[in-house]
Structure 1
Amino acid sequence: MSTSSETSAKTSRIPRVPFWAQILLGLVLGVLLGWIAKSGDVSWLVTTLGKIGELFVQLLKLAVAPLVFFAIVVSITNLRQVNNAARLATRTLLWFMITSLIAVAIGMAIGLLTNPGSGTGLTPADGSKPDHAGTWIDFLTGIIPTNIVTPFTELQVLQIVFMAAVVGIAALQLGEKAEPVLKISRSALELLQKALWWVIRLAPLGTLGLIGNAIATYGWNLIGKYATFTVDIYVGCALVMFGVYPLLLATVAKVNPLQFFRGAWPAIQLAFVSRSSVGTMPVTQKVTERLGVPKEYASFAVPFGSTTKMDGCASIYPALAAIFIAQIFDVHLSIADYVLIAFVSVIGSAATAGLTGATVMLTLTLSTLGLPLAGVGLLMAIDPILDMMRTATNVAGQVVVPILVSAKEKILDRDAYTRATSISIGDDGTAAAADEAEQKVAVPATAAG
């Protein structure tokens, strides 16, 4: 017995490496290996780093389609447990649009002030405009799928959201008759979240591969050419996350913004390193509930926000990227074009739907404006660097909006908000309280509540 106790004591004294430190270590090693592969022309190392990063992204994408579908279905049906459900849903969508408009305005303002694409001297292999420039009508009609299989096989996330919304609303109308289907949906959602958590635990290795491959393939010179654009993205996201959100919390919700960051930081941090809003969703919901948002409402707002609330990827980024690419190709953007950017950014947020990267949103914006699609390839090299800050901003907004709505509806537990502490993320995918009083309590990280 004593030997067992001593062994247990020794094991407990082994320091646990925080998840953020694991990510940082992966980042540093990735930079080092990428530099070695580039400077030494080590082809096998370049291939290995590329495969590691590619497999990590594939694993993340594998769960996206079913996770988005079941999360939306369950989140909509959870509204039956909430008083004034229609009012809450409407207010949530309204605040999604308001904050997205603010974010896209900030992105356009920064782009016009800094002119990130002017004088770069870049000459893409194909700078011609696309043969067919998509319009907002093409965008809206593209929401409706032609069949129920293709959106899942081709990862048409916007169409998946549409189908899930239809199923969720129909289930609300059917009431108890739909309960068997809902039980399966809740179980499937929990299974997918558990599996996705295992993938997220591989984020340090994935970061090593993604960053290492970017440096080994493109080198530091390419990243240096985009320094202004990268800084613009980080500044724009920082203005929204540390300026707009605290201002709204202080003036609309009338709560302490510093307390918000104290409670929400684990989700923001995980979003930064994982680059996935959907992957962060379980932790996002947990911190939202700890900040005083009723569990029944949080189980709707957070999953829904994780697939449609993208201030970083769908507002700041496409606005800045459109200006950047237009300047590279010397294309003049009119006032109507800027209005169209704002429209696509607000309506098209669901197109990014928690995926790592915002390529879908950028392609949509460029094709709608008639800008060269070669610009998408120009930004792929530095996308991992940009996406960390974009996703952190996305998740921060996904926590802010439920707090704003709850405060306006007078259902926010202000005492819980004041008491909210940070949480730590366990190895088994649970979110545990970080304060001493709750250190031993583990809470299952499920988006369905």
Structure 2
Amino acid sequence: MSHASLTAAAPTTGLALHWRVLIGFAIGIIGGVLAYWLAPGNPIVAGVIDYIAAPAGQLFLRLLFMLVLPLMFTALILGVAEIGDIASLGRIGWRTLIYTAVVTSIAILIGLIVVNLLQPGLGFDPALRDSFLATSGSQAHQIAESKPTLSVIEMILGVVPKNVVKAAGEGELLAVMFFAIMLGIALVLTPTPATERFKEAVQGLNELVMKLIGMVVKLTPYAVACLMFALTARFGWDVLAKLGQYVIAVMLAIGIHMFVVLPLWVRFMGGMSPLRFFRDSQEAILTAFSTASSTGTLPTTLKCAEQNLRLPTKVARFVLTVGASANHHGTALFEGLTTLFLAQCFGVELGLGQQVMVLGLCILGSIGTAGVPAGSLPVIAMILVYLKVPPEGIAIILGVDRFLDMCRTALNVTGDLATAVVVAKGEERSDTAEAMAAASSSPKV
């Protein structure tokens, strides 16, 4: 029996969605910058931000988040079931895990090298540092108080939910994904008429969710314009200038990983042209940049993978759904670089051994980081505690975090898609090898 594609292509007219998203992005930035320059503090502009632009952007995000949980749940069950056998599932799972660990480690190393070379926090003006602490100290203290645990044992145990309904209600997506994978495995191992009907019901729910997502995604250009207008009209670029060296260091490290490491990886491990990869992924990358949420971007990421990159459905569903919560190249890079930057700001010297520890903590932290805006800040606070740096120091970066969050989220989603391309190529090679082995072992007539 054949199932409908996760994102069955619909005929479109007029300008392609990714171009409309880009236009909305540009309109939002230009309008916001003009409003900030021409009428700073104007109550009319403030009203437009607080009562129109910001609520419209948040409404769009809420619509996406409303659909993310049922999408992840159904896509993982169907993805595992469509893989067809436990051996193939294990192969895809191990490939995803190994590729994620290796490339995430490379991302963190790039961040650590850049921050050691540029040393943006060395000689940071103590008066400026104290002013940031005074302005945003209470917010930073709340984030520091909410810091998660990085205990490996607790992270492993946390993946297995005691109550899957409670886990879903509290947004513990890794636990929900584990339960969905277990259901998918059970479907593969129990091919009965009853389980086939259950699979059809899950497929039906998935198609309904994708229909709703298709309706919401049409609003993306308008939501992107509102989100970018609210950001730039409220903050302008002044705060970027005050932390210019730090912002440059983060963007340089993200740029190296996104435009050097990932293209090489896609070309030589995935067998795909980097130009085609970025062209076909741009809609997801722009959405990730605008929303600063890799989880919220998942519907668009899946659409790009299946419709544009033409990746196998079973690979796209599994790799991208897991990656939205566990494959965060940009987050890991940012956490490592920011930790060392703040240590430099407070005059704390970190040796090689401590920086290696930071690398390990960032790998663990990126897996457990929520795929939502500012999700990495509590993890940074925890790492700062390990290094004897005041965790309230994150107040220094709060002014620029929203912009940098957008940059690292774009890298997260690009990394997810690159991983899916490489895993798909590996599966293609494995399937070809198995077919050749089967042909050579079949009796000759």
For Structure 1 versus Structure 2, the TM-score category normalised by the shorter chain is 0.7 to 0.9
- Counterpart position of 2:382: 367
Matches within 5 A, 1:423-442: none
Matches within 5 A, 1:49-448: 49-80=53-84, 84-118=88-122, 119-120=124-125, 121-123=128-130, 124-125=133-134, 126=137, 134-137=149-152, 138-176=154-192, 177-215=194-232, 217-218=234-235, 220-289=237-306, 291=309, 293-313=311-331, 315-352=332-369, 355-357=371-373, 359-370=374-385, 371-411=389-429
Residue range with higher mean Cα deviation, 342-351 or 123-132? 123-132
Is the contact made by 1:275 and 1:391 (CA closer than 8 Å) also made in structure 2? yes
Does the C-alpha gap of structure 1 residues 327 and 185 become closer, same or farther in structure 2, counting only changes over 3 Å?
farther
Aligned-partner Cα distance in 1 for 2:412–2:146: 33
Q: CA deviation at 1:102?
A: 0.8
Aligned-partner Cα distance in 2 for 1:368–1:212: 33
Is the contact made by 1:37 and 1:216 (CA closer than 8 Å) also made in structure 2? no
Does the C-alpha gap of structure 1 residues 225 and 151 become closer, same or farther in structure 2, counting only changes over 3 Å?
farther
Output the amino acid matched with 1:181: F
Output the amino acid matched with 1:392: A
Does the C-alpha gap of structure 1 residues 65 and 33 become closer, same or farther in structure 2, counting only changes over 3 Å?
farther
Is the contact made by 1:321 and 1:362 (CA closer than 8 Å) also made in structure 2? no
Does the C-alpha gap of structure 1 residues 141 and 343 become closer, same or farther in structure 2, counting only changes over 3 Å?
farther
Aligned-partner Cα distance in 1 for 2:384–2:195: 43
1:186-242, Cα deviation, whole Å (9 max, x unpaired) = 333333333334444434444444444444554543232232233223222221122
Is the contact made by 2:294 and 2:413 (CA closer than 8 Å) also made in structure 1? yes
Aligned-partner Cα distance in 2 for 1:344–1:188: 38
Q: CA deviation at 1:375?
A: 4.4
Is the contact made by 2:74 and 2:205 (CA closer than 8 Å) also made in structure 1? yes
Does the C-alpha gap of structure 1 residues 259 and 98 become closer, same or farther in structure 2, counting only changes over 3 Å?
same
Is the contact made by 2:384 and 2:391 (CA closer than 8 Å) also made in structure 1? no
Q: CA deviation at 1:20?
A: 1.3
Q: CA deviation at 1:105?
A: 1.0
The unaligned stretches of length 5 or more in structure 2 are 1-12, 433-445
Residue range with higher mean Cα deviation, 153-162 or 41-50? 41-50
Is the contact made by 2:146 and 2:378 (CA closer than 8 Å) also made in structure 1? no
Is the contact made by 1:293 and 1:411 (CA closer than 8 Å) also made in structure 2? no
Is the contact made by 1:143 and 1:158 (CA closer than 8 Å) also made in structure 2? yes
- Counterpart position of 1:40: 42
Aligned-partner Cα distance in 2 for 1:302–1:133: 24
Aligned-partner Cα distance in 2 for 1:331–1:193: 50
SS class of match (2:72): helix
SS class of match (2:376): helix
Is the contact made by 1:52 and 1:209 (CA closer than 8 Å) also made in structure 2? yes
Q: CA deviation at 1:108?
A: 1.5
Residue range with higher mean Cα deviation, 392-401 or 74-83? 74-83
- Counterpart position of 1:26: 28
Does the C-alpha gap of structure 1 residues 27 and 106 become closer, same or farther in structure 2, counting only changes over 3 Å?
same
Q: CA deviation at 1:245?
A: 1.8
Aligned-partner Cα distance in 2 for 1:132–1:349: 13
SS class of match (1:401): helix
Is the contact made by 2:21 and 2:283 (CA closer than 8 Å) also made in structure 1? no
Aligned-partner Cα distance in 2 for 1:140–1:14: 46
Aligned-partner Cα distance in 1 for 2:151–2:358: 10
Aligned-partner Cα distance in 1 for 2:293–2:314: 24
Aligned-partner Cα distance in 1 for 2:150–2:272: 41
Is the contact made by 1:32 and 1:212 (CA closer than 8 Å) also made in structure 2? no
Output the amino acid matched with 1:116: P
Query: TM-score, structure 1 length as denominator?
Result: 0.75
Greater percentage in helix = 2
- Counterpart position of 1:438: none
Count of residue pairs brought into register by the alignment: 400
Aligned-partner Cα distance in 1 for 2:320–2:418: 10
Aligned-partner Cα distance in 1 for 2:340–2:57: 29
Does the C-alpha gap of structure 1 residues 199 and 390 become closer, same or farther in structure 2, counting only changes over 3 Å?
farther
Is the contact made by 1:312 and 1:391 (CA closer than 8 Å) also made in structure 2? yes
Does the C-alpha gap of structure 1 residues 249 and 55 become closer, same or farther in structure 2, counting only changes over 3 Å?
closer
Aligned-partner Cα distance in 1 for 2:39–2:217: 26
Aligned-partner Cα distance in 2 for 1:66–1:393: 25
Q: CA deviation at 1:111?
A: 1.8
Is the contact made by 2:328 and 2:366 (CA closer than 8 Å) also made in structure 1? yes
Aligned-partner Cα distance in 1 for 2:180–2:396: 34
Aligned-partner Cα distance in 1 for 2:202–2:249: 41
Aligned-partner Cα distance in 2 for 1:368–1:139: 15
